[in-house]
Structure 1
Amino acid sequence: MNYLAHLHLASHCDSSLTGNLLGDFIKGPLPSGLEPSLDAGIWLHRRVDAFTDAHPEHRAAVGCFAPPWRRFGAILVDMLYDHWLSLHWARFSPAPLPLFLQQSYAALLADEARLPGGLPSPLTAMVRQNWLASYAELDGLTRALNGIGQRLRRPQPLGLALATLLPAQWHACEQGFLAFYPDLMRFTQQEWQARPHFPDIHRP
């Protein structure tokens, strides 16, 4: 999943928003050396991604992209899921999306001092430029995908892949997301309630 979904799921579970986004940047075993709440968020991020990648709806959506785009299918579908989450936000959250983003950005900035080196640069840019608000529009989604594509080892104009989906495929993938996301919310809540304990390794 991408940033917006991870923020929403973290909020849904009352988990650390910052920890859940750090899951894209902190690799290796846990505890990581960060605070326990951040480690728990990283753990939840990993559980969310594993569940998503194995889900039949996500796999079906990836399969809608023909070569050469299919090799980037996981990235494309994760971004599309943020797009559809934006469009259908009121189904999944009582708070309006602009207010949710404002509060989420404030929480990330408040945690910045707790992180060695501060927030990873992509997260800082996301906050300052309010990337997530643009995902509801296809132009914003296309720009975001092209930006991701430029950071690949071999740069690719990933935004072009969106135009390869037929209208019927687009509709099927959107309906698949609407079937999948409640499953993911239930899974995330269950996993969070059964989460492991992460000790504070900074304390004697």
Structure 2
Amino acid sequence: MNFLAHLHLAAHTRSSLTGNLLGDFIKGPLPTGLAAHFDEGIWLHRKIDAFTDAHPEQRAAVARFAPPWRRFGGILVDMLYDHWLCLHWSQFCPDPLPRFLQQSYAQLLADHHALPDGLPLPLKRMAEQDWIASYRQREGLDLALDGIGRRLRRPLPLGQALATLDEEAWHACEQGFVRFYPQLMDHSAHQLAHYRTTIRPSG
């Protein structure tokens, strides 16, 4: 999953927003030496990604991209899921999206000073420049994917991949997301409850 979904699932489970986003940048075993709530968020991030990558709806969406784009299907679908989460936001969260993003960015920037090395630069820029709001629009999604594509070892205009989905495939993937996301919300809540009762280090 991408940034918006991880922020929302962190808020949904009342876990660390920053910790959940750090999961994209901090690898290796836990504990990391950071504050316990950051480690909890990193742990949840990994569980969210594992559940998503193994889910039939996500795999079906990836399979709708023809080569050579299918190789990057995980990235493409993660970004599409953030796009559809923006569009269907009120179905999953009572707070308006602009308010949610404003509060989330404020928390990320506040946590910047609580991390030994600060926020990873992409997260800091995201919070300062409000990247996520652009994901609601197809043009913003294309630009975000092109930005990711420029950072690949062999740069590619990833935004072009979206044009390969016809209307039927686009609609099918969107409906797949709407079916999948409530399952992910439930899974996240159950996983965090398990962590807090059986895994979290004491003290």
Task: Provide the TM-score with structure 2 as the length reference.
Answer: 0.97
1:116 counterpart residue number: 116
Indicate if the aligned counterparts of 1:39 and 1:198 stay in contact, CA closer than 8 A: no
- Gaps spanning 5+ residues in structure 2: where? none
2:200 counterpart residue number: 197
TM-superposed CA distance for 1:199, in Å, is 5.2
SS of residue matched to 1:118? coil
Matched, 1:71 2:57: no
**Paired residues, number:** 200
1:51 counterpart residue number: 51
Deviations along 1:71-93, one digit per CA (max 9) or x if unpaired, are: 00000000000000000000000
1:83 counterpart residue number: 83
SS of residue matched to 1:116? coil
Moved more, 190-199 or 162-171: 190-199
Matched, 1:8 2:47: no
Q: Distance in 2 between matches of 1:155 and 1:136?
A: 24
Task: Provide the TM-score with structure 1 as the length reference.
Answer: 0.97
SS of residue matched to 2:29? coil
2:163 counterpart residue number: 163
SS of residue matched to 1:26? coil
1:102 counterpart residue number: 102
Deviations along 1:39-75, one digit per CA (max 9) or x if unpaired, are: 0000000000000000000000000000000000000
Deviations along 1:143-165, one digit per CA (max 9) or x if unpaired, are: 00000111111111000000000
Letter aligned with residue 81 of structure 1:
Y
1:143 counterpart residue number: 143
Indicate if the aligned counterparts of 1:31 and 1:199 stay in contact, CA closer than 8 A: no
- Gaps spanning 5+ residues in structure 1: where? none
Q: Distance in 2 between matches of 1:16 and 1:182?
A: 20
1:30 counterpart residue number: 30
Letter aligned with residue 114 of structure 2:
R
TM-superposed CA distance for 1:117, in Å, is 1.5
Compute the RMSD of aligned alpha carbons: 0.8
Give % identity: 67
Deviations along 1:68-127, one digit per CA (max 9) or x if unpaired, are: 000000000000000000000000000000000000001001111111121000001101
TM-superposed CA distance for 1:198, in Å, is 3.3
SS of residue matched to 1:114? coil
Q: Per chain length, whose mean CA-contact separation is higher, i.e. which structure has more relative contact order (CA < 8 Å, sep 6+)? A: 1
Q: Distance in 2 between matches of 1:150 and 1:43?
A: 29
Indicate if the aligned counterparts of 1:23 and 1:46 stay in contact, CA closer than 8 A: yes
1:19 counterpart residue number: 19
SS of residue matched to 1:194? helix
Q: Distance in 2 between matches of 1:151 and 1:122?
A: 12
